[in-house]
Chain A
Amino acid sequence: QKEVEQNSGPLSVPEGAIASLNCTYSDRGSQSFFWYRQYSGKSPELIMSIYSNGDKEDGRFTAQLNKASQYVSLLIRDSQPSDSATYLCAVKFSGGYNKLIFGAGTRLAVHP
């Protein structure tokens, strides 16, 4: 069973704080991991992809991958109210499964 697990939230953080979003996945052989942001009533938007263990930074976003623990996270520094959205974790599983499995998403609320 191919599974991607996320805490549904809501995760509430004050403006300017660091928001930490977490995701675990079931397939140890997975190689590709993605974070999508989805505003209410809109389509998912790709914000980060990560393929190697460690950290990958892009502006205020940092993706962290630990394949041994089957864990991927997204950190948002200096959170802004405009970051309030649902964040979807997606994993490409191994074994020729040419699709992404999405987690159910974590709702983030950044309050002023």
Chain B
Amino acid sequence: DAGITQSPRYKITETGRQVTLMCHQTWSHSYMFWYRQDLGHGLRLIYYSAAADITDKGEVPDGYVVSRSKTENFPLTLESATRSQTSVYFCASSEVGRQGAWEQYFGPGTRLTVT
């Protein structure tokens, strides 16, 4: 039972390059989320998805693009990376429909450095 995985775990890229972070979950959870975590800011929501082909902006969406063609995958793309996007990125998933809904489970994270 792999749960939720992210790839790559570490990435170094240059300013202006496009980079895609992958997230895959095996629980068939409806909801998936992308967060970034920076010192002094805690976890901030970038985008989330309620189901395949349904996505919405979070707190800090600028410079990011998401898609969700399959329930299990939720890639996050930085269209033109900037140094301010250097961060640790976490993917999470959640299910709905019972009291335990909204318990989010996190992937291991991707540490991204933009030089």
Does B108 lie within 8 Å of A43, measured CB to CB? yes
Q: How far is the CA of A22 from the CA of B48 in the complex (A)?
A: 28
- Tell whether A44 is near chain B: CB-to-CB under 8 Å: yes
Categorize the interface residue count of chain B: 20 to 34
Number of A-B contacts (CB under 8 A): 44
- Interface size of A by CB at 8 A reads 20
Mark A residues whose CB is within 8 Å of B: 32, 34, 36, 42-46, 49, 51, 88, 90, 92, 98-100, 102-105
Contact of B109 among A43, A51, A90, A99 (CB under 8 A): A43
Which chain A residues lie closer than 8 Å to B40 at the CB level?
104
Q: How far is the CA of A92 from the CA of B51 in the complex (A)?
A: 19
Does A43 lie within 8 Å of B90, measured CB to CB? yes
Does B104 lie within 8 Å of A100, measured CB to CB? yes
Which chain B residues lie closer than 8 Å to A100 at the CB level?
102, 104
Does B107 lie within 8 Å of A46, measured CB to CB? no
- Tell whether B84 is near chain A: CB-to-CB under 8 Å: no
Which chain B residues lie closer than 8 Å to A104 at the CB level?
40-42
Q: How far is the CA of A103 from the CA of B33 in the complex (A)?
A: 17
Does A45 lie within 8 Å of B106, measured CB to CB? yes
Does B103 lie within 8 Å of A46, measured CB to CB? yes
Does B104 lie within 8 Å of A88, measured CB to CB? no
